[in-house]
Amino acid sequence: MNTDGTFHTFMARAARAGELVVQPRMGFGTVGRMRAGLLATRDAGPRTIGTLTLDSYTRIGDFAAAARAIHAGDELNGYPIVNLGPQVTKEMLDGVRTPAFPVQVRHGSATPGPIIDALVAAGLDATEGGPISYCLPYGRTPVNRSVAAWREATRRFAELASTGATPHLESFGGCMLGQLCPPSLLVAISVLEGMFFAQNGITSVSLSYAQQTHPGQDEEAVRALHDIAADLLPGISWHVVIYAYMGLYPATRRGSLELLAAAARLARRGGATRLIVKTPAESSQIPSIEDNVTALRVAAAAAAAVTRSATEPECTGIEAEARQIITRVLDLHDDIGRALTAACALGFLDVPYCLHPDNGGRTRSYIAGDGHLRWAATGTLPVLEPTGRTGSHRMTSAELLRSLSYVRNRYDATAGRQKEPLS
């Protein structure tokens, strides 16, 4: 394998240069359109990497349904990497993937073995997910089965190192359900999954954090993620990746682009190395290639206008709370996979409003009047003094619905007061 163009090498260079890499969440069902999307991403202007986001059939392992859709000419919502086979993907990437433009596979599978085998066979070396972050939000696969599948697949993926490549895995842990999960739990899950990857042979990881409801709180969380990773991932190459808001996106073009610009500013101020963008089309349809290119350019321009903050953000205890959760989980077992399984069973990892059967369901959160995301109930989460908790808060169904639309409504309202478009 040619190792000059690996994802790891590219991102390590960007980190050393203090650059922010922007990346779409793009995936198309046909080879021609996928290649066109990658070329447009490569030629968008800012420093970018490409993405192969897979289709929903592939994510759940229903390869027979993917095959029927391909045969019938039905439009898939992503790239069917397993069904198309490695040679087709290699040919699609020929002349596209280069040392200056690596490509990452994104999927959403709790049982990723066939996907990882397919991407390795196609010559790729970067993907993402995790045994908790790709299990709890997306279906009913038992946590212990997801952990076992991710352990086996991660170990096979790590064997790429024998070819001279450096396989890279990104934890999706900072994006649990996209919204209303307090930052300390996002940080904790992301770090724990990074440690799980490292324990199973991966030496290059990235840790995610999704933009939430308050920029100051988010910056504090990103700083905490950096500090904890520096302590708990010694000898591992890692960087932080920010996701533009994963919940309900603004319905107005101006509002969506301003929310994206805020995510870019967060990434830059917080010292992240990569940003996953969202587009103005998110609220109504699958984004086009042109939508993605616009988002990449807007994000890069917004990031270029700010620098990494030299001052410490307000401390509300996010780092201390995240460390409490991580420590308690790691105390459960030396094997981090078994510790994660036990932590879910005990409620030490418990995601608010997550309906997965293995999630405790005893935690709740709410958006305070100042926009901070707070704990309303912590269940058996191992936190001594929950951040921002000022007594009990009963979350009603009406308030939950309002909270889900909080960011959308705020940015759409701001957009209505502004006249000049961002692009």
Q: Which CATH number does the domain housing residue 236 bear? A: 3.20.20.240
Neighbouring CB atoms inside 10 A of 47's CB total: 18
Q: Average pLDDT, whole number, for the chain?
A: 93
The model's pTM: 0.95
19 — pLDDT class (breaks 50, 70, 90) = very high
Q: What is the pLDDT of residue 108?
A: 92
In a domain, 243, yes or no: yes
400 — pLDDT class (breaks 50, 70, 90) = confident
In a domain, 122, yes or no: yes
Torsion 145-150-155-160 (CA) sign: positive
In a domain, 288, yes or no: yes
Q: What is the pLDDT of residue 422?
A: 60
Neighbouring CB atoms inside 10 A of 135's CB total: 28
Of 232, 121, 123, residue with least CA distance to 171: 232
Cα dihedral 290, 125, 225, 24 in deg (nearest 10) = 0
Least confident among 19-33, 262-276, 408-422 = 408-422
CA distances from 152 to 123, 229, 363 (A): 19, 24, 31
Q: What is the pLDDT of residue 5?
A: 59
Q: What is the pLDDT of residue 34?
A: 98
Are 127 and 170 within 8 A, CB to CB? yes
Are 84 and 59 within 8 A, CB to CB? no
Domain around 217: 7-304
Q: What is the pLDDT of residue 167?
A: 97
In a domain, 50, yes or no: yes
Top pLDDT among 44 and 389 is at: 44
In a domain, 339, yes or no: no
In a domain, 328, yes or no: no
H/E element holding 118? helix 113-121
In a domain, 258, yes or no: yes
In a domain, 300, yes or no: yes
Residues in Cβ contact with 414 at an 8 Å cutoff, skipping those fewer than 6 apart? 255, 258
Top pLDDT among 150 and 400 is at: 150
Are 209 and 225 within 8 A, CB to CB? yes
Give residue-wise pLDDT tens across range 94-113.
Answer: 999 999 999 999 999 999 99
2 — pLDDT class (breaks 50, 70, 90) = low
Are 141 and 160 within 8 A, CB to CB? no
Q: What is the pLDDT of residue 363?
A: 95
Domain count, the chain: 1
